[in-house]
Structure 1
Amino acid sequence: MAPSAVDAFNNDHQYGPVKIEQEINCISDHDFGRNDYVPNNAAKIAKEMIGAALQKHIKSVNPSECEAGEEDAFFVADIGEVYRQHMRWKKNLPRVTPHYAIKCNPDPVVLQLLATLGAGFDCASKAEIEQVLKIGVDPSRIIYAQPCKTKSYLRYTAKQNVRQMTFDNTDELYKVKELCPEAELYLRILTDDSASLCRLSNKFGASMENTQELLELAKELDLNIAGVAFHVGSGATDTAAFVKAVTDARDVFDRAKALGFAPHTLDVGGGFVSETFEETADVLNMALEAHMPSSIRIIAEPGRYYTSSAFTLACNVIARRTVEDRETGEKSYMLYLNDGVYGNFSSIIFDHQHPIPQILSTSRKQNNYNYDLSSSTESLTDSGYTSASEDTNSTDPSIGGKAITYSIWGPTCDGIDCISEQWKSAQTVDVGDWLYFEDMGAYTKCSATKFNGFTDKHETIYVSSEAGASAVLGF
């Protein structure tokens, strides 16, 4: 039986229409994640399912004849990857309950999956809290992890019975006393985030010198200090930062207890990176074992860890410009895509990412995934998978076997809208061809804009390479 697309949510959702590619033959359910924990064929099968969805979609679009917008960039999301990451988390950090940072990617299917799996949620605004509550999440599973809150949002939070929240200054305590005196407050402390991809300590976190003053004021105001929070920065690479932060948190716990508080929760924040997750988990586990008794509840705020590798973005080449070096006579090309840094490539600016283009389809080679679109679902796992970056022996006779140099640009009229200043490929890419970009699930569509009149709503097609995820979501 061939894959079929069915509507899972209303197509007017704020992040664009969604589709589910319903798969019968999913990878068998297991408790493993990436790297050495992934069965050898798991990544291959997931790639094939993504490739099948990509090829099926672009085959249905003819840029030369389609209606305006039908050839827009689109995502394929493997919900099975999010599921594997959750199982990987449970295996390596069994004591730590993840509260997914939805600012990273507020995708409705991701939220539903994680909610059903028992995760909590890190929210920073009324809209984020509202989105989580609407899918049936209990307020006790939400932490309002915004040290400096808008008053009207805080009033809304209090009405919704969301009690857990962070703070790092005296003014915030007075605000909480006025609007939400029953709050469970987590004092966010300053950390060393110098080795992180995105630093946060220059904006949030109380210095250790100021924590005593804050604790004493909270006592004077008869507020509840329920715990301590920290964040070592998004995309952290220095595991020692976690150790120092846990040590400092224990010091604050002890001083809070001395004042008569009964703190019960430590929030270790985010910063978890998939590539170094096991190493980070080992270090964090040892720090927690050394400094936090088993009676203390531990939560975290992972974001990119869950979604980065689960989303693949496909873009259409809408224009091409030839550039010739007058001295050497060599030609290069400027490719213009229908998505750019003001859209789903906002991660280039805001998240310091460097997306790598790969060829999905050209007029000379329709299928760079080498996936047979006429094959049945049953034969899907036997399909081959290659990409432009892996196909090192391919050459284009029109250039004598030499790699072609491209620069890749977005569709807006702003010169900053550059996706890649230089990219080399052995294949000729022309107008109407398709490129794809992997690892596009973190800080991409959530920060897309409508600059220059281009859409910020891009279709997401879902596949599931895990039977567990399919069962949870009813795929």
Structure 2
Amino acid sequence: MGLSKTIWANPVEVIRTKQPDHPVLVFAPTVLQATARRFMRGFPGLVTYAVKSNPDEMVVENLVAAGIRGFDVASPAEIAMIRRLAPSAALHYHNPVRGRDEIAFAVKMNVKTWSVDSISELEKLIEMVPTEGCEISVRFKLPVSGAAYNFGAKFGATAELASVLLSRAAAAGFIPSLTFHPGTQCTDPTAWDAYIRAAAEIATNAGVQIARLNVGGGFPNHRTQGPAPMLEDIFELIKRVTREAFGAAQPALVCEPGRGLVGDAFVHVTRVKAVRDGAHVFLNDGVYGGLAELPLIGVIDRVQVISPEGEYRREAGQPRVVFGPTCDSVDRLPGEMALPMDLAEGDFVVFQGMGAYSSATNTRFNGFGQLEVVTALSLDF
């Protein structure tokens, strides 16, 4: 992956001028910074960025420029990068399973906030992490609806175990907190409602007043046709329900969006390699590259098809099976995509809302995977 130093007007100018035969991510820093300011203006607490969603240094630098002062990190590599780019930022090490070498590194790098979801991992933290000024945030899970996929399948204690962990962390001298994740691309605000009320019950059952409640990520970006998600409605619900559930013991709030912050700051430009016998479409990118996430959360339907001359294909859409470039039958986008009937070899298929996980999960499998990043003033079409 490489970053061009040229600044383009918009994605159409990139297509018309460069005629790229390899996939290109078009990044608009103005969109990223505007989204960051929207979160900081609307969310009733500290906004941190989930680095894993897009760990590109230019993304981190633009978020810092916009005012983001906290980061959710999941590995020593992410910790080291943020300490270099934003030395005074708050680091929340919220990957709840860590090797002892990883814990030792994080302590050395002055990480103060940790999550945990099991007794065995809590005991490691008690053994290795100094208590002074350090926070342990117990991660819990509930059944989830309205999310593209469920983080609780891998992480999170039951409500009963969470009370035990919270009590143990407080007794050990750590600042006690709770955290959860409602699931990625969560479009149902009531998911936060259920989690916040459960958090209040967990704290009550543990006999602990929590210092902070981290309401996770899950904030959606604009992936489907129609209006963009109303983030402000989610922010207002979180504020109201926290007040109702905790009353006078209301904790400080934290969120850790990844996709919600960075998703709409990039579009992904792919090219049609072939239209096989007028039916199947082959792109120069697929599930081993920048489109790796689509089989997990579904095809984005905010898509434009643009000719090499920069003209839009406007004929009615026809359902097509879409394959990636590799010599592997798994390399297929889920379901079918409605693409214009006049789609032709050499056209460009542009996916909007592709800032999260597209570059982070890109591989070079089968010799493909060259991915260029360019900067644009706007992502308008």
Alpha-carbon shift at residue 109 of structure 1 (Å): 1.5
Structure 2 unaligned blocks of 5 or more: 222-228
Q: Aligned with 2:153: secondary structure? A: coil
Distance 1:404 1:167, change over 3 A: closer
Kindly indicate whether residue 347 of structure 2 is the aligned counterpart of residue 347 of structure 1. Answer: no
Q: Equivalent of 1:268, from 215, 224, 248?
A: 215
Structure 1 unaligned blocks of 5 or more: 1-15, 24-47, 62-70, 323-331, 369-386, 394-402, 467-475
Distance 1:355 1:131, change over 3 A: farther
Percent identity over paired residues: 26
Kindly indicate whether residue 118 of structure 2 is the aligned counterpart of residue 169 of structure 1. Answer: yes
Q: Is contact 2:290-2:361 (8 Å) kept?
A: yes
Q: Aligned with 2:126: secondary structure? A: helix
Q: Is contact 1:196-1:235 (8 Å) kept?
A: yes
Q: Which residue pairs with 1:75 in the alignment?
A: 25
Q: Which residue pairs with 1:290 in the alignment?
A: 244
Q: Which residue pairs with 1:99 in the alignment?
A: 48
In structure 1, what residue type is equivalent to 2:216? G
Measure, in 2, the Cα distance between the counterparts of 1:353 and 1:335: 15
Q: Is contact 1:409-1:418 (8 Å) kept?
A: yes
Q: Equivalent of 2:4, from 4, 19, 31?
A: 19
Kindly indicate whether residue 283 of structure 2 is the aligned counterpart of residue 337 of structure 1. Answer: yes
TM-score between both structures, scaled by the size of structure 2: 0.87
Measure, in 1, the Cα distance between the counterparts of 2:141 and 2:66: 31
Alpha-carbon shift at residue 281 of structure 1 (Å): 1.7
Q: Aligned with 1:206: secondary structure? A: coil
Q: Which residue pairs with 2:38 in the alignment?
A: 88
Q: Is contact 1:96-1:299 (8 Å) kept?
A: yes
Distance 1:290 1:422, change over 3 A: closer
Q: Aligned with 2:322: secondary structure? A: strand
Q: Equivalent of 1:367, from 310, 315, 318?
A: 310
Q: Deviations over 1:398-451 (max 9, x none)?
A: xxxxx7664321111111212363534142402x33322212112222112222
Q: Aligned with 2:371: secondary structure? A: coil
Distance 1:55 1:210, change over 3 A: same
Q: Equivalent of 2:366, from 427, 441, 452?
A: 452
Q: Which residue pairs with 1:202 in the alignment?
A: 153
Alpha-carbon shift at residue 175 of structure 1 (Å): 0.8
Q: Is contact 2:265-2:355 (8 Å) kept?
A: yes
Q: Aligned with 2:10: secondary structure? A: helix
Q: Equivalent of 2:87, from 137, 141, 156?
A: 137
Alpha-carbon shift at residue 160 of structure 1 (Å): 0.3
Q: Deviations over 1:69-114 (max 9, x none)?
A: xx21111111111122122223322x22211112111222221111
Task: Map 1:18-417 to 2 at 5 A.
Answer: 18-22=3-7, 49-58=10-19, 71-93=21-43, 95-119=44-68, 120-138=70-88, 141-182=90-131, 183-219=134-170, 222-254=172-204, 258=207, 263-274=210-221, 275-292=229-246, 296-322=251-277, 332-354=278-300, 357-362=303-308, 366-368=309-311, 387-388=312-313, 391-392=314-315, 406-417=320-331
Measure, in 2, the Cα distance between the counterparts of 1:434 and 1:101: 31
Q: Is contact 1:192-1:241 (8 Å) kept?
A: no
Q: Deviations over 1:239-288 (max 9, x none)?
A: 222122212222344455x46xx642211101112413122122112112
Q: Is contact 2:243-2:250 (8 Å) kept?
A: no
Measure, in 2, the Cα distance between the counterparts of 1:294 and 1:223: 19
Q: Deviations over 1:384-410 (max 9, x none)?
A: xxx43xx358xxxxxxxxx76643211
Q: How many residues align?
A: 367
TM-score between both structures, scaled by the size of structure 1: 0.71
Q: Is contact 1:404-1:428 (8 Å) kept?
A: no
Measure, in 1, the Cα distance between the counterparts of 2:97 and 2:337: 41
Distance 1:22 1:367, change over 3 A: closer
Q: Which residue pairs with 1:6 in the alignment?
A: none
Distance 1:137 1:359, change over 3 A: same
Alpha-carbon shift at residue 157 of structure 1 (Å): 0.5
Measure, in 1, the Cα distance between the counterparts of 2:46 and 2:330: 40
Q: Aligned with 2:281: secondary structure? A: strand
Measure, in 2, the Cα distance between the counterparts of 1:317 and 1:144: 41
Q: Is contact 1:21-1:53 (8 Å) kept?
A: no
Measure, in 1, the Cα distance between the counterparts of 2:35 and 2:170: 40
The structure whose Rg is larger is: 1
Alpha-carbon shift at residue 354 of structure 1 (Å): 3.5
Measure, in 1, the Cα distance between the counterparts of 2:236 and 2:351: 31
In structure 1, what residue type is equivalent to 2:232? E
Alpha-carbon shift at residue 176 of structure 1 (Å): 0.6
Q: Is contact 2:169-2:176 (8 Å) kept?
A: no
Q: Which residue pairs with 1:328 in the alignment?
A: none
In structure 2, what residue type is equivalent to 1:245? Y
In structure 1, what residue type is equivalent to 2:263? S
Measure, in 1, the Cα distance between the counterparts of 2:169 and 2:304: 54
Task: Map 1:420-431 to 2 at 5 A.
Answer: 421-430=336-345
Q: Is contact 1:357-1:437 (8 Å) kept?
A: yes
Q: Deviations over 1:347-377 (max 9, x none)?
A: 1123334455532224xxx112xxxxxxxxx
Alpha-carbon shift at residue 185 of structure 1 (Å): 0.4
Alpha-carbon shift at residue 118 of structure 1 (Å): 2.7
In structure 1, what residue type is equivalent to 2:162? T
